[in-house]
Amino acid sequence: MMAKHVVILGGGMIGLSAAAQCAMRGHRVTVIERNGAERDGCSMGNAGMIVPSHVVPLAAPGMVKLGLKWMWNPRSPFYIKPRFDPDLLLWAWRFWSACTPQHVKRAAPLLRDLHLASRQLYIDTAETGEDFGLTTKGLLMLCKTQRGLEEEAHAARAAHELNIPAQVLDASQTARLDPGITMDVAGSVYFPLDCHLQPERCLAALERRILRAGGMIMVDTTVTGLRREGDRIAAVGTSAGEISGDEFVLCAGVWSGQLVLDLGLRLPMQAGKGYSLTVKDPVEQPQICAICTDARIAVTPMGKSLRFGGTMEIAGLDETISPARVEGILDAIPRYYPRFRRDHFAGIQPWCGLRPCSPDGLPYLGRTGAAANLIIATGHAMMGISLAPVTGEIVGQLVDRVPPRINLTMLSPDRYL
């Protein structure tokens, strides 16, 4: 097959995974990234989890009610900054429309297949000797109350129906599974197939792979527009000049929608700001990553460090740190991990990143009718790390005009036209 010049717009985990796959297939790759070499986008400071357990999309029954309960509290796990924004209102209406059992029933098998495929690709890469901190010890969904444990047990049964193993554990069983950390919980659900990694090491490994294959990564480069000739993209305009290509892949996260408006393509998305704090020398160190279910806080051991991440703040393209959001995380940590005190976090600079959230909780992945040589790969929300390898593989297959192994109908970038 003839090699192509593939231009990737966006150098986060999705963009680099797509670039690495295309380079591996013999194509010439150029990655365009708006941030600098030491970039700090939403791929860097997140929880680094690979989650086959997460087969229910963000748009699910009960989420609207839960969101309304939380949204007026700036310290809650979910918060919408009050503002008049027609795009936000339309996104919210589409989100509400997608929160149905029927949507979950259709989406869950697809998400399962995507997560499991990604998990295997991560394992295959690690077995080549690439060290990015992959740890395959599972995930604990920690529950503070018996009622919460019963709700998670229901989710475990739903996972079993999709052949995702899960175990419901009481407090003592939870403690025995991860004895390195003191937990104050009623119990947990353990998902043994889930994994975690260190995002910054994974990104660095992808960059090395791309550069070894002769690819180019342009940093501090802003995309200014797409130039179309007929039904194809001829070139992308950037702050470094125009770059032509044979295939173009849009992986620009929350900024993706703005770049294709002139093509008539609509990618409804809201930026879901997430926060994290990384403790370099924690008082206790778990061996298994966890999610504190009531507080919606993710906890990930990363080498000798421990990362706490959480919240979903819908506040537009605003990358400022909200002290109230950080306080919400700090308030919740000692409730689950009583050995941790607030002074353990003194002097730690909080991180935040903008996650691209589609209204139906599914990514945009596939070719679009807007241009014959344009592939969309964005909108992964909180699943970017988990779904990056399979997304990259699918992009590579689309570039090669090979039918992907997973049906992409529900992920069509044109589904909101």
* Nearest in space to 201 (alpha carbons), one of 122, 132, 301, 124: 132
- CA 58, 59, 64: angle at the middle one, nearest 5? 110
Token pair for residue 170? Answer: 């009481």
For 181, phi then psi, to 5°, come to: -140, 140
CA distances from 6 to 230, 240, 250, 398 (A): 19, 17, 11, 11
Q: Of 275, 323, 272, 299, whose CA–CA distance to 75 is shortest? A: 323
Q: Tell me: the pLDDT tens digits for 300-316?
A: 999 999 999 988 888 88
Is the pLDDT confidence value at 79 over 90?
no
Q: Cα-flanking dihedrals φ and ψ of residue 113, to 5°?
A: -65, -40
pLDDT level of residue 67 (50, 70, 90 thresholds): low
The confidence band for 5, taking pLDDT boundaries of 50, 70 and 90, is very high
The Cβ of residue 235 has, within 10 Å, a number of other Cβ atoms equal to: 17
**Residue 337, H or E segment:** none
- Residue 355 is predicted with a pLDDT of 94
- DSSP letters along 3-71, please? --EEEEE--SHHHHHHHHHHHHTT-EEEEE-SS-TT---TTTSS--EE-TT--S-SS-TTHHHHHHHHT
Residue 63 banded pLDDT, cuts 50, 70, 90: low
Q: What is the per-residue pLDDT for 54?
A: 92
Question: What six digits make up the tokens of 32?
Answer: 């365009």
So what's the pLDDT on residue 36? 79
State the pLDDT at residue 84: 82
The secondary structure of 160-215 as a DSSP string is HHTT---EEEEHHHHHHHSTTS----SEEEEETT-EE--HHHHHHHHHHHHHHTT-
Q: Is the pLDDT of residue 70 over 90?
A: no
HSE-CB at 414 with a 13 A cutoff on CA atoms is: 13
- 142 within 8 A of 184, measured Cβ to Cβ: no
CA distance 384 to 174: 28
Report pLDDT for 119.
Answer: 98
Phi, psi torsion values for 229, nearest 5 degrees: -125, 115
Domain architecture of the chain: domains with CATH: 5-43+201-267+361-411 (3.50.50.60), 50-196+269-357 (3.30.9.10)
- pLDDT at residue 1 above 80? no
The pLDDT assigned to 187 comes to 98
Over pLDDT 70: what percentage of the chain? 95
Average pLDDT, integer, range 58-72: 68
Determine which of 59-68, 80-89, 185-194, 287-296 has the lowest per-residue pLDDT on average: 59-68
Confidence at 85, pLDDT banded by 50, 70, 90:
confident
Q: What are phi and psi of 300, to 5 degrees?
A: -130, 120
The mean-pLDDT minimum among 59-68, 219-228, 319-328, 403-412 falls in 59-68
Kindly state the average pLDDT of the residues 253-282.
94
The C-alpha atoms of residue 139 and residue 156 are separated, in whole angstroms, by: 12
What percent of the chain has pLDDT above 90?
A: 81
What does the pLDDT look like over 122-156, one tens digit per residue?
A: 999 999 999 999 999 999 999 999 999 999 999 89
Mean pLDDT for 175-199 is: 97
Over residues 59-75, the mean pLDDT reads 68
Q: Which residue did the predictor score with more confidence, 38 or 238?
A: 238
Q: Map residue 330 onto helix, strand or coil.
A: helix
Look over the chain and give the mean of its residue pLDDT values, rounded to a whole number: 92
Confidence bin at 215 (pLDDT 50/70/90): very high
Beta strand extents in 51-145 (DSSP E only): 78-80, 139-143
Sign of CA dihedral 13, 16, 20, 21: positive
The whole-number average pLDDT for the span 3-11 is: 97
When pLDDT is averaged across residues 52-73 and rounded to a whole number, the result is: 74
> How does pLDDT run across 11-49, given as a tens digit for each residue?
999 999 999 999 999 999 999 999 877 766 666 789 999
